[in-house]
Amino acid sequence: MNTDILIKIVESQLQETSNMREKTPEFIRKVVHLYTLQLMKLGNIPLDFMEDVISDIEAETVEIYRKKTYGFLTLEEYRRHKFRQKDDN
């Protein structure tokens, strides 16, 4: 698993402010979907292993998400804080 690509996807999706009320589970599902599509472009994932791969990606995504949003109670709070900081600069 190429974690660099997954981290970039998480970071880009964290910056996505078109749906400020997006909940964490929705966010995780979206990132897992995007990363799975990337993996499938690079190679074939055998159907027998698809559930295991998705489960691993989800666990990794949750870990990255928690590290990136540490100190914020919700995804919305994180985005509002980061968005406000960008406006102030």
Sign of the CA dihedral with 43 first, then 48, 54, and 60 last: negative
Structure tokens at 48: 């027998």
Q: What is the pLDDT of residue 46?
A: 86
**CA geometry: angle at 22 spanning 18 and 28, to 5°?**
110
Residue 6, classified by CB atoms within 10 Å of its CB into exposed (0-12), middle (13-18) or buried (19+), is buried
Low-confidence ranges of the chain (pLDDT < 50): 87-89
Q: What is the mean pLDDT of the chain?
A: 89
